[in-house]
Amino acid sequence: MSMKFEKTSLDEVWLIKPKIFEDDRGHFLESFRKEIFKEKGVEYEFLQDNISTSTRGTIRGLHYQISPFSQAKLVMAVYGEILDVAVDIRKGSATFGQYFSSILNDTNRHMMLVPSGFAHGFSVLSEKATVAYKCDQYYNKESERGVRWNDPALGIDWKTESAILSEKDKNQPLLKNIQEKDLFKLT
């Protein structure tokens, strides 16, 4: 098995730990293998790959797209270190409003699978970090939504002293002010 799938405190959010092969040159790993994800019942057809680079103290998020452009994301830090965060925003879920966070870096090579129904964000803990993620739906500007990174109802510990944010992210709504039509429903 070239990667280990670990359940998290949030149903459907997975922490994936690839097998790392080290030698004198450095290391090698398989970062995605469709058949292994399928064995775990995690079947996505990824349509878009994204890369962003950010400086220490940057927080990107919390972001999601609403239906029919909702996205599952497979996230990894190809360079540097981030705290990756997923928040359950599925109305009717036992863990609605709860978050799971984990450190992803270029040494542990851990990945987070953030399914549709969750808002996603990360903070940058190293001088610079390059994050790459696969998405199973295309970017659609009109479907973009967000939740405020420092919403007290979420109480996320971003493990950073500063918060470098986009203008958009400074003004995201609190979870309690988001209309039901702009969230997900657990059926």
Ligand X SMILES: Cc1cn([C@H]2C[C@H](O)[C@@H](COP(=O)(O)OP(=O)(O)O[C@H]3O[C@@H](C)C(=O)[C@@H](O)[C@H]3O)O2)c(=O)[nH]c1=O
Residue numbers annotated as active site:
63, 133
> Exposure of 113 by Cβ count < 10 A (0-12 exposed, 13-18 middle, 19+ buried)?
buried
Minimum CB distance to ligand X smaller for 40 or for 170: 170
Contact 117, 31 (CB under 8 A): no
Between CA 3 and CA 10 the distance in angstroms is 20
Residue given tokens 């940057």 in the structure block: 58
Closest approach of Cβ 14 to ligand X, in Å?
A: 16
CA angle 11, 14, 18 (to 5 degrees): 165
Least distance CB 16 / ligand X (angstroms): 17
Binding site for ligand X (CB under 6 A): 50, 52, 60-61, 63, 73, 120-122, 139, 166
- Amino acid symbol at 165: L
Q: Which residues contact 173 (CB under 8 A, 6 or more apart)?
A: 146, 147, 148
Q: Which of 173, 161, 76 is nearest to 122 (CA)?
A: 76
Minimum Å gap between C-beta 115 and ligand X is 12
Task: Report the residue number whose CB is nearest to ligand X.
Answer: 139
Shortest distance, CB of residue 165 to ligand X, whole angstroms?
A: 9
Closest to ligand X by CB, 3 vs 112, is 112
Q: How far is the CB of 51 from ligand X (least distance, A)?
A: 10
**Which residues, including other chains, have CB under 8 Å from residue 148's CB and lie 6 or more apart?**
62, 172, 173, 174, 175
